[in-house]
Amino acid sequence: MRSLRVPFLLVMVLFAAAPLYGLLKISLSPPGEVMTAHPTLVPHGITWRHWQRVIESGQIGAPLRKSLLVASGTTALALLLAGPAAYSLVQLPLRWRYGVLIGLFLCRMLPEVSVAMPIAVVFLRWGLMDTALGLTLAHLPMALPVAAWVLTTAFGNIPRDVEEAAALDGCNLWRTLAYVIIPLALPGVIVAALLVWLLSWEEFVLATYLTLGDKTMPLQVYYYLYQGNAFVTAVAAVIMTVPVLLLSALLQRFIRETSLAGVVR
């Protein structure tokens, strides 16, 4: 089985990278090289005309900033709210703990389109339509179950002996959380943050209902797609993918198995 591991990983990498390569090739190819009956896999000519058109249009900067702001704000609020909740859930018996989590996910299973209109009506009264704050608050119900599930698992993997040892050393609850629990659960916290950020970054339905003029990146990509220009759409899609790749690469070193051996003495 070990002999098949490397070929399997190569196939998975190629499968994951193929869509991004296709978008990048289209964004850098002359129209005649793509709009043909037999397009080539390897580009024979490279042009920056499509990128120049998107950048000079001035229509990509504002959506990019808004999506970054909304995704980062949603992640911060979700961690602040789900962190204490997850730590409290860990103290419950196992069946009660997962009963609450399953209940959260059942609420998450509601179609976004079924709640988007009521949210839009309320936000219109509150003056939150077409604002980053309103979209951030709308993303929270979608993000909290995911953050709570991951953080509950991360906190649940920490032995209770660690907390008891911290209490014997004179640490109160908040010092134990800040200096013991969170550092040990940091990989889980990073995973929760990354998943919530990705959910908010790519969200489309709520952004459609709560946006009047200031688009997010998914809406801007759809706008280009609706125009029927495949090259400009590919450029916008590549730009939307770049922050995901950068964030994943930046946090990769934190996402690893953490050994608790030797922690309990």
Structural domain span for residue 20? 1-47
**Residue 113 sits in the same domain as residue 216:** yes
Here the tokens at position 193 are: 């943050």
**Residue 6 sits in the same domain as residue 109:** no
**CATH assignment of the domain containing 91:** 1.10.3720.10
**Residue 126 sits in the same domain as residue 227:** yes
The pLDDT, as a whole number, for residue 256 is 57
- In a domain, residue 244? The reply is yes
**Residue 143 sits in the same domain as residue 200:** yes
- In a domain, residue 36? The reply is yes
- In a domain, residue 260? The reply is no
Helices within the chain (DSSP H only): 5-28, 31-34, 49-57, 61-90, 94-108, 112-126, 132-156, 160-168, 173-176, 182-184, 186-201, 205-210, 217-227, 230-251
- In a domain, residue 53? The reply is no
Whether 265 shows a pLDDT value over 70: the answer reads: no
- In a domain, residue 192? The reply is yes
For the segment 68-123, what is each residue's pLDDT rounded down to a tens digit? 999 999 999 999 999 888 888 888 887 888 788 888 878 777 788 888 989 999 99
- In a domain, residue 66? The reply is yes
Considering its fold, how many domains does the chain have in total?
2
Which of these three, 26, 47, 68, is where a domain ends?
A: 47
The pLDDT, as a whole number, for residue 251 is 83
**Residue 32 sits in the same domain as residue 112:** no
Beta-carbon neighbour count of residue 145 at 10 Å? 20
Task: State the distance between the two ends of the chain, measured CA to CA, in whole angstroms.
Answer: 38
- Tokens 């997010």 identify what position? 216
**Residue 43 sits in the same domain as residue 64:** no
For the segment 22-67, what is each residue's pLDDT rounded down to a tens digit? 889 999 988 888 887 778 887 778 889 999 999 998 899 999 999 9
**Residue 4 sits in the same domain as residue 79:** no
**Residue 188 sits in the same domain as residue 71:** yes
**Residue 85 sits in the same domain as residue 15:** no
